[in-house]
Amino acid sequence: MQEQEQSARFELEVVPHLDAAYNLARWLTRNDHDAEDVVQEAFLRALRFFGGFRGGDARAWLLKIVRNTCYTWLDKNRAKDTPAVFDEEVHSEETSSDDPEKLVLRGSDERMVRQALEELPEQFREALVLRELEGLSYKEIAEVAGISIGTVMSRLSRARLRLEKALAGNVGKER
Amino acid sequence: MSCADRQARIDAHLDGELEVLASMEMEAHLKACPACAQVYANHQALREALSGAALSYRAPVALRRRIRAALPSRGESEAARPWMLGRWLGLAAAMAVAIILAVVLIPARRGPSIDDLLAQEVVSSHIRSLMGAHLTDVPSSDQHTVKPWFDGKLDFAPPVRDLAGQGYPLVGGRLDYLNGRPVAALIYQRRQHFINLFIWPAQAGVSDALARAAPRQGYNLLHWAQGGMVFWAVSDVNPDDLGEFSSWVKSTPR
C-alpha cells in the first residue's frame, strides 16, 4: 500500500517536471538519443531515492539527479571516445569585461544562439540553461549543481560574458 | 568596491537576486559608470536573444510513455503480476474508505476546503492545457483579437491585456470549465514557462485580498478578486515571478 501511495505521489510531484529534466539532459549531452537514455536512467534513480525525499522543491531535487546522471554518463563516454579531456576551464583565456563593447544581436538568430550556447563549457551551459531556460533561482541552481550561491553568481556572470563574446564574434564573421 | 568586483553582482542584479540595499547601490552605480552599464545592457540583450529563440527541448512522447510505464502502479512486468491483485484489492479498499470519509467529512468542512478543491481543479486544468495541443483556442498576442473572441461564448467579458512590455507576453485565450461554470483562460508566457490566468465573475462577498495557495505538484498558485471578477494564476514559474505577474494584471488599466 505504501509503495502504491509513493508511486502516486511520485507521479504527482516528480513526473510533471519531465520536460525540465529532458531539457537539461539534452543541453548537457547535446544529443537526443543520449538525453532520452539519461532521463530514463535518472527517473529510475529518482524513483528509487524518492522514499528519502522529504518534500520541498521536487523540480530541483529531480534536476539534481538528472545532472548527476548526465555527468556520470558523460564521463563514461568521454573515457571511451576522447581520452584526453581538454579542460576548457583551465586552458581557455579568461573573458574580461574591461572596456566592454556594445553587444549587437541581430534579431534573435535561433541557430546561432543555440550553437553558441551548445559550445559553452558544461558548467557555464548548465548554469545558463537552469537560469534562463528553466527560470531557477540562485538557491535552486546551487542545490542542483551542488555549489554555493556565490559560485552560481560568478558562474553565471562568466557564462554570460563568454556567450556574449561568442555571439559578437559570430556576428562579426558573418558580415 | 571596484568595477571588477562588481561583475558578478551585475548578474545578480539582472536576476533579481540582490538584497534591496545592494540593488539600490547597483542602480546608482549603473547610472554613474558607462562600462558597467554596458555590461548590464549586453546581459539584457543576451537574455532577450535567449528567450526569443525557442531553445528549450520538450520530452519526446515515447520517453514520457516509457517513464509512466516504469512506475510501479502502472508496471506491466510479469514478475509483478501475482501480487498486483493484492495491491489492487488494497487500493480498492482504501478508495472505499476514502469515499466514505469524503462523504461524511466534506459537508462538515466548508471554508478552506472549497479553495483547496478549486486549487486542485486549477492545477489539473493547467496541466491538461500543457499536455496536448490545446493550450489556446485563439492563439494571439493581440488583446484586441483575444477579448472579442470570448464574446458570445461567455456571459461576461474578461479583462484582457498583453503584458509583453512587462516580460509576460500574451499567448492567447481558451475557453475552460472550472468551479462548475465556463471560464476564460488567458495564457501568458514567462521565458519558456506558461502561465494560465483563469477569470470568472465573483460571487458577492468574495474578498479582494491576494491569496497564495500552497504549491501543488510543483505549480505555484495565486488568486484574487478585482472589479467583480475572480482571478486564479497558475504556473511553474517561481513564486516571485508569479507575484510580479499578478501585480501587473491587477495594476493594468482595463
User: Using the beta-carbon criterion (under 8 Å), do A138 and B17 form an inter-chain contact?
Assistant: yes
Residues in A 100-139 with any Cβ partner in B closer than 8 A = 100-103, 105, 107-110, 113-114, 117, 128, 131-138
Q: Is the pLDDT of residue B136 over 70?
A: yes
Q: What is the mean pLDDT of residues B179-194?
A: 90
Q: Is the pLDDT of residue A174 over 70?
A: no
Q: Is the pLDDT of residue B139 over 80?
A: yes
Nearest C-alpha of chain A: how many angstroms from B169? 16
What is the reported pLDDT for A69?
94
> Model confidence at B141, in pLDDT bands (50, 70, 90)?
confident
What is the reported pLDDT for B104?
60
Closest partner CB to A157 (pick from B8, B55, B219):
B8
Nearest C-alpha of chain B: how many angstroms from A145? 17
- The reply to whether the predicted model has a pTM over 0.80 is no
Long-range contacts of A139-148 (CB under 8 A, 24+ apart): A140/A57, A140/A59, A140/A60, A143/A57, A143/A60, A143/A61, A143/A64, A144/A60, A144/A63, A144/A64, A144/A67, A145/A64, A145/A67, A146/A64
What is the reported pLDDT for A91?
42
Instruction: Find the closest chain B residue to A39 by CA distance.
Output: B63
The SS3 of residue B34 is: helix
Closest partner CB to B57 (pick from A22, A103, A113):
A22
What is the reported pLDDT for A161?
94
Answer whether B221's CB lies under 8 Å from B205's CB.
no
Query: Which of chain B's residues have a Cβ under 8 Å away from the Cβ of A3?
Result: 72, 87
What is the reported pLDDT for A85?
43
Mean pLDDT across chain B, nearest whole number? 83
Which three cell numbers mark A5? 501511495
What is the reported pLDDT for B80?
43
Which three cell numbers mark A170? 559570430
Q: How far apart are CA A138 and CA A122, in angstroms?
A: 17
Q: How far apart are CA A24 and CA B57, in angstroms?
A: 8
Substitution target in A132, A147, A161, A162 with the highest count of B β-carbons within 10 Å is: A132
Q: Is the pLDDT of residue B94 over 50?
A: yes
User: Using the beta-carbon criterion (under 8 Å), do B72 and A3 form an inter-chain contact?
Assistant: yes
> Model confidence at B254, in pLDDT bands (50, 70, 90)?
low
User: Using the beta-carbon criterion (under 8 Å), do B218 and A163 form an inter-chain contact?
Assistant: no
Q: How far apart are CA B174 and CA B184, in angstroms?
A: 6
Nearest C-alpha of chain A: how many angstroms from B5? 10
Residues B32-86: tens digit of each pLDDT: 999 999 999 999 999 988 887 788 999 999 999 888 888 775 444 434 444 455 6
DSSP letter at B167 equals T
Mean pLDDT across chain A, nearest whole number? 82
Query: Which of chain B's residues have a Cβ under 8 Å away from the Cβ of A138?
Result: 12, 15, 17
> Model confidence at A36, in pLDDT bands (50, 70, 90)?
very high
- Name the strand (E) or helix (H) holding B137: none
What is the reported pLDDT for B86?
61
User: Using the beta-carbon criterion (under 8 Å), do B67 and A110 form an inter-chain contact?
Assistant: no
E strands, B96-238, are 138-139, 170-178, 181-190, 193-201, 211-216, 219-226, 229-235
Substitution target in A41, A111, A148, A157 with the highest count of B β-carbons within 10 Å is: A157
Q: What is the mean pLDDT of residues B133-137?
A: 79
What is the reported pLDDT for A56?
79
Rounded percentage of chain A residues whose pLDDT exceeds 70: 79
- What interface predicted TM-score (ipTM) does this complex get? 0.83
DSSP letter at B73 equals G
Minimum mean pLDDT among A8-22, B66-80, B111-125: which range?
B66-80
Residues A80-123: tens digit of each pLDDT: 555 444 444 444 444 555 566 776 665 557 888 999 999 999 99
What is the reported pLDDT for B133?
63
